[in-house]
């Protein structure tokens, strides 16, 4: 689809009450990459999957970086706001409630930036291999917003203390943060899918119980 601001795929769900997922790929991915992951961790949920608009050596990303792990923070801000606008437009187009963002690596970082700049955009977030996206993030209220961060113990790209700082920052803003560290590297593993799926099912059970 190209009539909204971001090229994307939308897969409608068939399970009543399932929260839609916004899938945000890593560097070099595209709108197709995380669809199988979304279908595995949230069967029957609607899936909205945009493609990052920045090209780095021909590889799509969601924002520019100056070097490995060094972000162009003004571009992060601009792209995060553009992504939030896209999500709002796509929700109207497809008649969706606020989605849970599920991002991997660069996609997780832009999701974290949207949480810190436009928190109303997401119902929650799953951040797989995320880093701190903004060194001077504005004060924001994330009261009760569920966030799962999954880090890799042997990740050569993301220092463990960086992901921990992101978890602390989001928790201080009021988010309900779970931070798991798996004995893996930067690449996704079956354990990531299991952790994310269990977390989503727990979230849905909490919503059902609160409505009972």
Structure tokens at 178: 């779970």
Q: Tell me if residue 204 falls in helix, strand or coil.
A: helix
Stated length of the chain = 212
105 is catalytic: yes
- For the four alpha carbons of 124, 128, 131 and 134, in that order, the dihedral sign comes to negative
The 8-class DSSP code of residue 156 comes to S
Least Cα distance to 102 among 130, 74, 131 occurs for 130
30, 72, 85, 186: the active-site residue = 186
Catalytic residue among 46, 49, 105, 151: 105
Are 185 and 152 within 8 A, CB to CB?
yes
- Catalytic-residue membership of 25: no
Q: What is the DSSP string of 96-114?
A: -PPPEEEEETHHHHHHHHH
Strand partners, 50: 8
Instruction: Clarify whether 186 is annotated catalytic.
Output: yes
* Residues contacting 64, CB < 8 A, separation 6+: 54, 56, 71, 72, 75
Q: How far apart are CA 181 and CA 47, in angstroms?
A: 26
Q: Which of 46, 151, 155, 179 is catalytic?
A: 155
User: Looking at the annotation, which residues are catalytic?
Assistant: 105, 155, 186
């Amino acid at each position: 689809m190209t009539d909204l601001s971001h090229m994307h795929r939308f897969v409608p769900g068939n399970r009543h009450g399932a929260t839609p997922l916004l899938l945000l790929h890593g560097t070099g991915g595209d709108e197709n990459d995380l669809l199988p992951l979304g279908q595995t961790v949230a069967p029957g949920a609607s899936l909205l999957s945009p493609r990052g608009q920045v090209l780095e050596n021909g590889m799509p990303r969601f924002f520019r970086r100056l070097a490995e792990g060094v972000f162009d923070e003004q571009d992060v801000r601009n792209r995060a706001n553009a992504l939030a606008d896209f999500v709002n437009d796509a929700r109207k187009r497809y008649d969706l409630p606020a989605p849970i963002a599920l991002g991997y690596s660069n996609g997780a970082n832009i999701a974290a930036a949207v949480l810190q700049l436009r928190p109303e955009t997401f119902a929650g977030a799953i951040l797989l291999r995320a880093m701190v996206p903004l060194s001077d993030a504005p004060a924001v209220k994330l009261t009760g917003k569920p966030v799962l961060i999954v880090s890799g113990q042997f990740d050569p790209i993301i220092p463990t203390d960086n992901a921990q700082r992101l978890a602390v920052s989001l928790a201080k803003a009021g988010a309900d943060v779970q931070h798991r560290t798996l004995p893996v590297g930067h690449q996704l593993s079956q354990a990531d899918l299991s952790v994310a799926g269990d977390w989503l099912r727990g979230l849905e059970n909490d919503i059902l119980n609160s409505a009972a």
